[in-house]
Chain A
Amino acid sequence: MKVLIVGGGKTLYFICRNFIAKGYEVVIINRKKDECIQLARQLSAMVICGDGSDAAILKDAGIIGADAVLAITPNDQDNLVICQLASLKFGVTKVLAMANDPDNTEIFEKLGVSAFSTTQIVGSLIEQRASLEQVLNLMSVGEGRVNVTEIILDVDSPVAGKVLKDIDLPENALIAVLIRDNQPIVPRGANNLLAGDRLVLITLPENHGSALKVFTGESQQRGNGFEGKRVS
């Protein structure tokens, strides 16, 4: 697989190191000459010094044969244009932009460019690890039409000790993964649930509340962030 990466800094360095270790062919485009020299010394990758949003530079970097293009510069406008040139001008099918401003993730998607926000990802990870809350919202996918939620079962949970097939889940709700002692299990009907288990739950906004109730028992509707989304 040939991957073209535009950007710099430690993120780029470690991503490239990882990709090269996996045997991918990596081409880096960076604006700064000094950094290019450093990168060329440290990594066995082709390094091109120039503006990644310039079609001629992309061509020099061999974009025509690339399987994927990744734009992770610190400027969102550059990342957007790099990805649009890659897909519209050069026909690369897999392009991915980093959105430095988390608000831009949605905007880029609307403009036809797949995007991710490290701020969002790291933020939700920190929330997940540091939070003592029993219910954590991991993310909403499909433009907010699907919720992914993590629940930690406590001893009072009405489902603790029950076998999955005996649990009465509302329609359109699914336990995707069960994590016990750091071991993920994709559960089936015969698996049981224990206090301390972490469940990753897939729900639709309509039945999110009733699905949660099955696991926590309480008729809890405390601000879990989905109220707003359900209206829309």
Chain B
Amino acid sequence: MNKIEQFSLLLYVFAFAIFAGYQVISKVPQLLHTPLMAFTNAISGISLVASLIIAGEGRSLTSSILGMVAVTAAMINVVGGFLITDRMLKMFRKKDKAKP
């Protein structure tokens, strides 16, 4: 597969992801906008998958160190992001049935 074909496939992925994302995110109520930001923060930690390869590739000491710092930064977002999203979502509750 040449570069142009590869690029066009990735562009398809990009365009469809943007469209699907727009549809899904428009449905998120204002109530949950802060958890939404924490959530997208956590999943943007997916750059971890790129950092892992750089850190484990062993091409040079410099790139291994850069990779390790990148893994650290991405992992902070993954761990911290999911934990804080969970903490927030647990707080949102409906009115108790037991009314005074």
Partners in one complex: no
